[in-house]
A = this chain, B = another copy of it.
C-alpha cells in the first residue's frame, strides 16, 4: 500500500486504542494486506473510553469501513457495544476485533487466545490432550484458557498471586466446559506438559519470575505471552533446562491473520 495505492476504492480498517502512538498493528496489517493484494488500509483511530460509543456509531455509517481491532482500554467495553459477539468473546467478556457488516451492524470476536493457540500450532505443537500450567488470571490468561479449552487440552491448572482471581477464572472455565478438569495451582509448574506465562512478569529486568524456574523439566514446552523482550528470563531458564520454548511474537503474527479473516479482508 503506497500513497498511490490509496484510492477512492480502498477499504478502510482501523485500530482503536488510547494511547495510540505505540501500536504496531498498522505496519503489520498493511504488510499483510500488501502480501495478499488486498485494496485496504488499516489506520490508527485514537479514541478515549468516553468517546468510544460515539465513534462506533459514526463508524457504523462509514460504508467503506471493514472493521477494526480494539485494544487497551476498549476490549471489555466493546463486548456490549457490538450487535453480535462470537461465543468465545461472550465467554471471555471481551472483544478485540470487530467486523462491520454491510448496513453497519458490528460483529465482535476475541482472538487473543486463539492467536496464541494458532501460534503454537504454527510452531508444530498441538495442545490437544496436553496438561497445562497457566500462570496468570487476567485478560490475557482468560483468553488463552478458553482458547485452550476449545483446542481440546486434557486439563488445566491456573496459578495466580491473588488466588481468588485464579479461582474465579477456574469457575468460569468449568461452567463453560463442564468436562474439562480445572484446578488452582501453586508456584510450581511441575508435572504439566505445557507451561504458559500469561502475566506481565518478565517485561521489566527486575520482575520476579512468574513461576518456579527451578521446577522446569526438559520434557515441558514453555510458552510466553510477553513480546518485548523477545527472550524473557523465563524463556532463557527454560531453554537452559532443555525445554522447548515458544516466544510471544508468533502469537501476534497468527492473530493478525485471524483478525484479517474476521474482518473479511482476506478469506
Contacts and interface: CB of A to CB of B under 8 A. Distances in A.
B45 A43 contact: no
A50 to B, nearest CB: 8
A30 interface: yes
A165 to B, nearest CB: 30
A64 B46 contact: yes
Contacts of A60: 54
Number of copies: 2
Contact of A63 (B9, B41, B48): B48
A83 interface: no
Say what secondary structure dominates the interface of chain A. mixed
Given A57-B54, A61-B54, A27 B43 contact: no
Interface stretch (A15-23, A127-135, A179-187, A220-228): A15-23
A89 interface: no
Nearest to A18: B63
A75 to B, nearest CB: 17
B10 A43 contact: yes
A75 B44 CA distance: 26
A58 interface: yes
Contacts of A8: 15, 17, 20-24, 26, 44
Interface of A: 1-4, 6-10, 12, 15, 17-18, 20-24, 26-27, 30-31, 33-34, 41-48, 51-52, 54-65
